[in-house]
Chains A and B, each alone.
Chain A
Amino acid sequence: MTTLPTRSGLAELSAQGRLGLAWHALPWVLAFVVFYMAEGYLSLWTNALIMILLTLSLDLALGYAGIVTLGQAAFFGFGAYAAGLFAIHVHNDPLIGLVTATALSGLFGFVTGILILHTQGVTLLMLTLAVAGLLAEWANRAYEITGGDDGLQGVRMGPVLGLFRFDLYGKTAYLYSLAVLFVWFVVVWRIIVSPFGRSLDGIRQNPARMRAIGTPVWWRLVAIYTISAAMAGTAGALSAQTTRFVGLTTLSVLVSGTALVMLMLGGTRRIYGAFLGATVYVIVQDYAAKVNPFYWMFFIGALLMATVLFLEGGLMDLGATVRKYWRRAPVKKP
């Protein structure tokens, strides 16, 4: 009887829900199509899956909870180094390494979140950048541990579940990443439709309102920041395990920026926005780099500008926007 709001991000989701399972199955079906079609390209698509995961983690913090952050790289890199070091020094089982890296990244997010989440806006943005910057600087200096500029070499991974070896064609890496992405996707889904997710949506819109109904705003933000950090850590760990290398670039602010561009492209607070944005980005980047290796950033930039200017909610809004103009067009005629 009672229905969800008319057009908020959450309603969008439930409206799609009524369209049936077909839409929700689509991304995963496409993922398998890619698996069978993209022979020789699988490492590119594995990277796309990892970037989707990272973008989704940003959507939780920035999109839903409104935490202005450019610090996702800190957790991505942290997760990558954690997974790499774990494989080298402790155990080469991918899943144990992945879970450990995820948990440690979450802990790192929790501690930094407690320190910085009482601030807002530009101050918060600067602090998230500072955390990423400090970590990058540390990784650069701690040559004995991280390999500094040369990166972390010699990561050897055991087979997934003791059964599936990482093969030369990247098939295992792709399916492994896809499975991990799916697990996180389900978690994110649960969060955003839950009362917890709704309270985050409220905090983003109006913290004063949430305080007036008794919401412990700061704790809720710390909680989602921790989850988001853990998720970004998983993405980093996947990157380390599937490429068997961790470099300083995993900690660079460029990683945060790329995730932000992907999120803006696809659309915030739409769960599939991360999927669409990251995929389009990777395709355009790959294609444009072939056409002209020096100007691929130009294509991405132009695409982003067009999206932000014409599509309020990113590419996820493309269908709705086209329909709107389609309907309006005949009326304009004199």
Chain B
Amino acid sequence: MTATPALSVSGLSKNFGALAVAQSIDLDLVPGARMGLIGPNGAGKTTFVNLLTGMLRPDAGSISLGGEPIDRLKPEDRVRRGLARTHQINTLLNETSVCENVAIAIAERDRIAWRTLRFGPQWRACLDEAQDRLRQIGIAEVADRRVSELPYGQQRLLEIAIALALKPRVLLLDEPAAGVPSAESHVIHDVLEQLPADIAILIIEHDMDVVFRFAREITVLVQGRILTRGEPAVIAANPEVRAVYLGRSVV
């Protein structure tokens, strides 16, 4: 069975000066995919996400979403076509309430965010949906607090809630548990387990236990190049991967 891939990348390349951070990367995500992207620090994982979302321009290669090329689209248009992401470092509206952070995303998704007239009922619907989404992700009790007052772990959850509120087809998770104390990170991993099955997900994660449990396929990126790719068990047994991750626990 060959369904159209939700996301298809081919020959994606990018150099920062002399540094090749992406070297002809090919990658396909089928609808509902659970793909893990691992690699040492500085391998180019975040850069890869930025290339996909359009925050960075690639030197070469092409990207398509649901079979349509998106190379020429601006970042916001890619989001509108169903490509959402979370950030390795929290990127939130710190002075705004938790609930409104989500509601603003919903307003943008529903194309009412430019309105200045007759927005009352729609905006209230946005707030209600935001409240529901916060409940689902387990942070409803802090809905009215300012983001800056939240503990880091809850801010990480908010990153995910906002991305989900966009109802994406493809979701790129850049180290969703980064910076969260390991004693609390299980909360985030539980949320990951519950993500809608039909979304194609690419997850970058340093905690090997988490990746190997969550992902059905794993891609290993080293110095901007795909080293290997395969099922978790195969990757775990790969001596090259073990070499790259020497000193880390590969299951």
Which residues of A pack against B, CB within 8 Å?
1-8, 11, 190-191, 194-199, 201-202, 205-206, 208-209, 211-217, 220, 223
Q: Are B76 and A196 in contact (CB under 8 A)?
A: no
What residue of chain A has the Cβ atom nearest to residue B124's Cβ? A2
Q: Are A205 and B96 in contact (CB under 8 A)?
A: yes
Q: Are A6 and B146 in contact (CB under 8 A)?
A: yes
For A206, A214, A220, the residue with the greatest tally of chain B CB atoms inside 10 Å of its CB is A214
Q: Are A199 and B108 in contact (CB under 8 A)?
A: yes
CB distance from A13 to the nearest CB of B (A): 14
Docked complex Cα distance between A213 and B84 (Å): 7
Q: Which 6 A-B pairs have the closest CB atoms?
A: A5-B97, A214-B79, A2-B127, A213-B105, A194-B116, A195-B107
Docked complex Cα distance between A289 and B113 (Å): 47
Q: Are B100 and A4 in contact (CB under 8 A)?
A: yes
Tell yes or no: B85 within 8 A of A by CB. Answer: yes
A-B contact pairs, 11 of them (CB 8 A): A1-B131, A8-B146, A194-B116, A194-B123, A195-B107, A195-B113, A196-B116, A199-B104, A212-B87, A213-B105, A216-B74
Q: In the complex, what residues of B have CB within 8 A of residue A1's CB?
A: 128, 131
Q: In the complex, what residues of B have CB within 8 A of residue A196's CB?
A: 113-116
Q: Are A206 and B92 in contact (CB under 8 A)?
A: yes
Tell yes or no: B13 within 8 A of A by CB. Answer: no
For A208, A217, A220, the residue with the greatest tally of chain B CB atoms inside 10 Å of its CB is A208
Q: Are A212 and B91 in contact (CB under 8 A)?
A: yes
Q: In the complex, what residues of B have CB within 8 A of residue A217's CB?
A: 76
Report the interface size class on chain B. 35 or more
Contacts A5-B96, A209-B93, A212-B87 hold; do A190 and B108 have CB atoms under 8 A apart?
A: no
Docked complex Cα distance between A288 and B146 (Å): 42
Q: Are A212 and B144 in contact (CB under 8 A)?
A: no
What residue of chain A has the Cβ atom nearest to residue B79's Cβ? A214
What residue of chain A has the Cβ atom nearest to residue B111's Cβ? A214
Q: Are A190 and B117 in contact (CB under 8 A)?
A: yes
Candidates A3, A205, A213; contact of B144 at CB < 8 Å? A3
Q: Are B116 and A190 in contact (CB under 8 A)?
A: yes
Q: In the complex, what residues of A have CB within 8 A of residue B15's CB?
A: none
Q: Are A195 and B104 in contact (CB under 8 A)?
A: yes
Docked complex Cα distance between A208 and B114 (Å): 18
Consensus secondary structure, chain A interface = helix
Q: Are B114 and A2 in contact (CB under 8 A)?
A: no
Q: Are B96 and A202 in contact (CB under 8 A)?
A: yes
Docked complex Cα distance between A217 and B74 (Å): 11
Which residues of B pack against A, CB within 8 Å?
53, 55, 74-77, 79-80, 84-85, 87, 91-97, 99-100, 104-105, 107-109, 112-117, 119, 122-124, 126-128, 130-131, 143-146, 162-163, 166
Docked complex Cα distance between A220 and B116 (Å): 12
Q: Are A215 and B96 in contact (CB under 8 A)?
A: no
Candidates B76, B96, B115, B117; contact of A214 at CB < 8 Å? B76
Q: In the complex, what residues of A have CB within 8 A of residue B145's CB?
A: 6
Docked complex Cα distance between A198 and B113 (Å): 8
Q: In the complex, what residues of A have CB within 8 A of residue B163's CB?
A: 212
CB distance from A106 to the nearest CB of B (A): 15
Docked complex Cα distance between A325 and B8 (Å): 60
CB distance from B55 to the nearest CB of A (A): 7
Docked complex Cα distance between A74 and B133 (Å): 46
Q: Are B131 and A2 in contact (CB under 8 A)?
A: yes
Q: Are A208 and B146 in contact (CB under 8 A)?
A: no
